[in-house]
Every structure is written in structure tokens, then in C-alpha cells.
Amino acid sequence: MTHDTTALNRARHRFDGAPAVWLFGYGSLIWKADFDYLDRRHAHLHGWSRRFWQGSHDHRGTPEAPGRVLTLARDPGASCAGVAYLVTPAVFDALDHREKNGYLRHVEPLVFDDGSRVDGLVYIADGHNAAWLGPASDTAIARQIAAAHGPSGANRDYVLHLADALRAQHAEDAHVFAIERELHRLAGLTAR
């Protein structure tokens, strides 16, 4: 699959005339919702874990020095905390561009904090896309993130903003917090 998945996403999940769709955010969408939405709720996606396994050649890195951003990996028994946004289908043109670097839209069941459930769209990148970097040690991931910078800013800021946003919603994520600690260690700062 190419780096740019915009056309693939526009052919997937055409919304069948739905006036609004739930969108699940698990990375920068938690703290950077630069689109209009009708409602915002904390939600969980069961059976998935966040991982810094996707390359960012377009936002948090460059083609020559890609950053690392999040995707989801199947993980039975896990629960990924995030934010669900109720959006009109019109926002997906901008979202498809934002998530174009290897991400595809998937329909997955979301669970809200009150226990109610709804199917929602989520962008997931897997090993079949050209920007895939895959697993690495926490130290190797943090080193790559610490060195990467792209049009959307320093890759390090992506991690730090996300860690703060997860804490604000009282969500635990061992992987994100481990990468954050490694970034602080590499920078010679005291870990939180």
C-alpha cells in the first residue's frame, strides 16, 4: 500500500446517508481536534492497544527522517481509552488528509463511560502500509522520536501532549508513559 491512503479511505465506509458518525481518537485526536464535532465523549476500544509503530513522514517527521506516531495493535483483553467525537460525514475529507500516511478507516465497537455501545470509525495503520516501522524497544522508539521533527512540529511534543491528555482523563497507558519516561531520560530531565 502507498503512503497516501486518502483515495482508499474515500472508497471505504461511505456512511450510507447517516447524518452523523462516531469517530474514535486514540492519539493526537484526543488533544488536537481541529475539526467541527457535535458531541465529545470519553470512550474505550476493547481488544486493542496503542503502539508507536507507525512512521510519520508527513506530520512529525520527514521522508528522510520519519517520526513515530501511534496506531492500534490487536491485543485481546486490552482496553484503549480515548475520545469519541460525533461528527458529520463532511469532516472526513479533512480527516482523510490528516490520516493519509498509511491509515485506513475501520468500523469498531466503542464503549462509552456509561457502558453504552455504538459502532464508530477509527483510523488504524498496520504492517501492510509503506510507512510501517513496527515494534522496537522503548529506548529505540524514544531515540527516534527525540530526533524527529516535521511540518506539525517536534515528534517529542506529540508524545508529551498525549501523555498529559491521558492523565487529564485519568487513563493509564503503559506504552505511552514508558516512551514519555525514556524521552525525559534522554533529555536528562526527571521522569514524572
Catalytic residues: 99
Rounded Cα distance between 54 and 107, Å, is 20
Give the closest residue to 86 by CA, choosing from 28, 20, 149: 20
CA distances from 110 to 26, 78, 84, 90, 164 (A): 12, 13, 8, 21, 22
What is the radius of gyration, based on Cα positions, of the chain? 16
Q: Which residues pair with 83 in a beta bridge?
A: 25, 42
